[in-house]
Each structure stands twice: as structure tokens, then as C-alpha cells.
Amino acid sequence: MHEVINNHGFATITSNHLGSLTATHLPLLLSEDKTELIGHFAKANRQWVDLEGQEILVVFQGPHCYISPSWYESQETVPTWNYVTVHVKGKVHLLTDEDPRLWQSMVELTEKYEDPASSYSLDDVDPTYVASLSKGVIGFTVTIDSIEGKAKLSQNHSKERVERVIETLSSINRSDERAIAKWMQIKSLPIE
């Protein structure tokens, strides 16, 4: 589950905002001790206004792809979708502007997603400019109360069918299909 969170950190945050369900899509980081998530909202996104102390649902969507019945040996089957996802429930704590975790999380997010060969570093940006931009965000943490991995990887099919699906997915030049093939090799084939 931690691997999915780390590799697919652009999450959907669902909360109750002004009496109705609201969702925002944000990049999040898993803390080093794996007990909380950290991120930030743009201040203009008002979902943060009533989040303090609220239990929310955070969904990390891992790889997913269509599975064609034509990949099986029988026409007595239907199309389906294989996927890997993680659901986190927890309580939100808003960070103050002075909390060093806010700036540190921004640096870590940039380092995580910036190309390793890139010359860009937030540490090189004029601190006055950074301070003015920082006033436009609200940092937060989510204390992880529960975490649940969900995966549909053709587990209900025979070893032969699973192997055929893996072979077909591995030959498709798209990252999700190849990632699902790898997950299926790990999770859906019996250990011999």
C-alpha cells in the first residue's frame, strides 16, 4: 500500500464541505514514519475552510486498465477492468504558515517530481517571492486512522488465463498495462 501511495501520490481528497461531499485532487506525501499524509491546498480552493478535525477519505489510484474477453480461451466471459488502489481515512490538521513541515513538504514534492537532471531547486528561488506565494496555500496533514488496499487483478481466473492476460498486457506499450501485468505476476500467480 505504501508503494502505491509513493508511486501514485496524486490523490483524490473527499470531505464534507458546507454540507455536501467535495473532492479535490492534490499531490500528497507519506511521512517517513508512515503515520500521516502531508500536502497543501490553494487558498482559493475553499474545501480547506471546514477541514480541521474532519475525518476524510483519500484515494490513491494506482495503475488500471481494460481487460478484453478476447484474451481468454473462451467466449463465456465479459470485459472487465483490473486496478490497484489505496483508500486512506484519517483526520485533518491544518498547518500554520510558520510550521516548517509546510515548506519542507513543498521542497520534497518538488524534489520527488522534478527530473533528477533538472537544475531547478526551490532553495534557489528568491525567499521573498516564495514567501508571497506561500501566503496563497494552506498546508495540512492527515493522520492515518485506517488504510485499505484494493486490487482486482484477475484473481478469480485460472493460472492459464492469468498468464495469457499478463502476456498480452506486457506487449502493450502503455505504462498502466505493463504495471498491471507486473502486479498480476506478483499477486495473482500461485507461488510454485
User: How much is the pLDDT for 103?
Assistant: 87
Condensed to tens digits (0 to 9), the pLDDT of residues 135-168 reads 899 999 999 999 999 999 999 888 999 999 999 9
Please write the tens of the pLDDT for every residue from 39-87.
999 999 999 999 999 999 999 999 999 999 999 877 788 899 999 999 9
pLDDT: is 13 or 103 the higher one?
13
pLDDT at 189: 79
Query: What are the chain's domains?
Result: 2-65+83-154 (2.30.110.10)
DSSP track, 55-102: EEEEEEEEEEEEE-GGGSS-SS---EEEEEEEEEEEEEEEPPTT-HHH
DSSP secondary-structure letter at 54? Answer: -
pTM: 0.91
